[in-house]
Structure 1
Amino acid sequence: MATDYDAPRKVDDDLGEDSIEELKARTRVDKSAIFVDSEDSDAEPIELPGADLSNEELSVRVLPRQADEFTCSRCFLVHHRSQLASEADGQMVCRDCAA
């Protein structure tokens, strides 16, 4: 929160002057500001991760590493040659791992 250094400051004598009613009113306002209303109670249910996918069949075509790609020796991901940061003793390192 920003502080206005030009605003008059309360001295120790002023701190005890707040009444109980004022403090309770501030507390009520603060509590109501915390409440967040949901957008739609009629929204569709959200499917959580870990749902039963046993009847689903996935088909993914896996390609072998291409001539213009390399496998990083640190993260073991396949990258394009443009992502090569360094190569020493046959150990290739991508830009992400070198950073």
Structure 2
Amino acid sequence: MATDYDAPRVRDGEEEKSDAFVELDAARSRTSVDLLEEDTDPADGHTLPGADLSDLSLEVRVVPQQLDEFACIGCFLLVHRSQESKPGTSLCLDCAA
């Protein structure tokens, strides 16, 4: 005899879900779908994929590493010297933890 592994399993002595639980599950799934469908408008400042951005300037001013900063060898971020785990290690407190 073939076993349907997708069917809900009921152990001996247990009852299947009552109709109240099935209705509750259905109500929960309807409300979550309704909440997802409510806010379909893009928020201000966000663009949809495939939007034409050719008229925007994407220039960014890059500031070189300052004397009071170091490049962490763990996360590769520029961090202030006060965040160095031990002097001279070039490892920030977050990476050392």
Decide: shared fold, TM above 0.5: yes
TM class by smaller structure:
0.5 to 0.7
What corresponds to 2:10 in structure 1?
A: none
Extract unaligned runs of 5+ from structure 1: 1-11
1:70-96 Cα offsets, whole Å, 9 max, x none, are 1112222111011101355xx511111
Separation of aligned partners in 1, 2:40 and 2:22: 35
Query: Aligned letter for 1:85?
Result: S
Query: Aligned letter for 1:68?
Result: D
Q: 1:87 to 1:52 in 2, by over 3 A?
A: farther
What fraction of aligned residue pairs are identical, expressed as a percent? 41
Larger strand fraction of residues: 1
Separation of aligned partners in 2, 1:85 and 1:50: 44
| Superposition misfits of 4+ residues, deviation over 4 angstroms | none
Q: Report how far residue 69 of structure 1 moved.
A: 0.8
What is the Cα-based RMSD across aligned positions, in Å?
3.1
TM-score if structure 2 supplies the norm length?
A: 0.58
Q: What secondary structure is seen at the aligned counterpart in 2 of 1:60?
A: coil
What corresponds to 1:4 in structure 2?
A: none
